[in-house]
Amino acid sequence: MKLYVDSNIFLNYFLDEFGPIETFSSFRAEEFFTKASEGNIQIIVSNLVISEITDVSSLDEKDVKKFLLTIHAKLENVTPNDVNKAKEVSKKYGLHLRDAIHTVMALQTGCDAVVTRNLKDFNKVSDLIKALKPEELNI
């Protein structure tokens, strides 16, 4: 299974490591990343995900990339063409631009779903790609 992982799943994991957050979410994120490191799933992230993580945590880009290596995640860079496509998705579906960029990246990399806690927004594009919480995955 190939999954695009939104920054909020990483933040569930990282912020639990460095401060208190909702225990259930952090446990499910840890379980999800354990499965990924075992090779049961392929995780795709974009440089936007890294940026969002470093913007709200004490981690720097190097720390995040090191973690991505441990779970065998593939990093994709957002291009100007991706942003242009995302602007169209944003306008058509009423998504924030960043969520539209994540949607476009998931589609272009052939992902089966976006793993996120932001179902409210990603369900707007359910005709393009599924959005699931980690605990909803059968892995």
Tens of pLDDT, residue by residue over 29-54, are 777 788 777 877 899 999 999 999 99
Candidates 106, 98, 135, 136; CA nearest to 45 is: 106
Burial 56-84 (b: 16+ CB within 10 A, else e): ebebeeeebeebbeebebeebebeeebee
Confidence of residue 127 (pLDDT cuts 50, 70, 90): very high
* Domain locations in the chain as residue ranges: 2-136
Architecture of domain 2-136: 3-Layer(aba) Sandwich (3.40)
pLDDT tens per residue, range 68-124: 998 889 999 999 999 999 999 999 999 999 999 999 999 999 999 999 989 999 999
